[in-house]
Amino acid sequence: MVTVKELSKEEYLLEGHAACAGCGPAISIRVLFKALGNKVFLVVPACCTTVIQGPYPYTSFNVPLLNILFESTAAAASGIVAALRQRNIKDITVVGWAGDGGTVDIGIQALSGAAERETDFIYICYDNEAYGNTGMQRSGATPFGAWTTTTPSGKRERKKDMPLIMAAHRIPYVATACPSYPIDFVNKLRKAKEIKGTKYIHILAPCPTGWRYDTSKTVELGRLAVQTGLWALYEIENGKFKLNAPSDRLIDKAKRKSVKEYFALQGRFRSLTEKDIERIQKWVDDDWENYRRLAACSASDATPYGKI
């Protein structure tokens, strides 16, 4: 068990980068470097992280990083893994770091292929629930009722459940995290680093510009998303589903906060009606019933996704 004070003081994301004030993904990148150090090779498609680096010929990332096309994060990472193996370099962790558009919509075929080939790398999707760097367009990860520039009256479809899609590939490690719980994220990254095969981590990273809230509330909103049950922190290790603290206490419905608290802080949910909120609350409860079943199933011998 690590604590915040045990994390390294070394910074590999340099100050003066181009992220907006109060950027959730920027916190996640810092925590990533705290967990893995500089022995990483990042593969980044078109997403906010390309912008955070700053204008050419400068970059604020003090680690090897490859900027690649939108759809080919996992394919390029597979190439890097093969090249490192050919040169017999063993201490470098290859990390695919993509936004939700580059994972859920555009990059899903390359990611699915890499997972099927059992490429040895960590894929991290930081999810700000829209295409952030082009000015907030709707993506497959945008939740029901959220405003984006292409859904001005709120999206009418539900969000894809990407972590469970990846779990269905029967990869050895799938986890969800949130920058509001940095220690949980560090533990998951260090665990993923030790496992051989494709590892997938999905982070909910609040975005003040797109979600329309005050910049100081980024961490608070991430925490609220977890406490209301809209975002569950769990890991699926070799098919065994396990809820992590603090989500493991929330199986009981009475312990979860009402989703209204989360929506009230954000401008993007302003068009939600009472009826919509009731529907979303019901979906959340259904999801948690599903999590409860998965956890109970994993506690016994039968695993929900079969033995790997």
Partner 1 sequence: MNRIPKTRKEMPITALSIPTAGSMGKTGSWRTFRPEVNYSKCTRCTLCWIYCPDVAITRQEDDSPKIDYEYCKGCGICANECPVKAITMCREEKE
Footprint of partner 1 on this chain (CB under 8 A)? 4-5, 7, 9, 11, 13-24, 26-27, 30-31, 34, 53-62, 179, 182, 208, 214-220
Q: Which amino acid is at 299?
A: A
C-beta separation of 79 from 116 below 8 A:
no
**For partner 1, which is the closer residue by CB, 16 or 152?**
16
**For partner 1, which is the closer residue by CB, 25 or 229?**
25
**For partner 1, which is the closer residue by CB, 26 or 114?**
26
Q: Which of 130, 171, 127 is closest to 148 using CA atoms? A: 130
CB of 75 to partner 1, least distance (A): 18
CB of 20 to partner 1, least distance (A): 8
Element (H, E) at 99: strand 93-99
**For partner 1, which is the closer residue by CB, 119 or 266?**
266
C-beta separation of 198 from 171 below 8 A:
yes
CB of 120 to partner 1, least distance (A): 25
Q: Which of 157, 99, 156, 102 is closest to 128 using CA atoms? A: 99
**For partner 1, which is the closer residue by CB, 218 or 228?**
218
CA 244 to chain CA centroid, nearest Å: 15
| Cα dihedral: 47, 51, 52, 57 (round 10) | 130
CB of 162 to partner 1, least distance (A): 24
Q: Which of 135, 123, 166 is closest to 32 using CA atoms? A: 123
C-beta separation of 239 from 308 below 8 A:
yes
CB of 18 to partner 1, least distance (A): 4
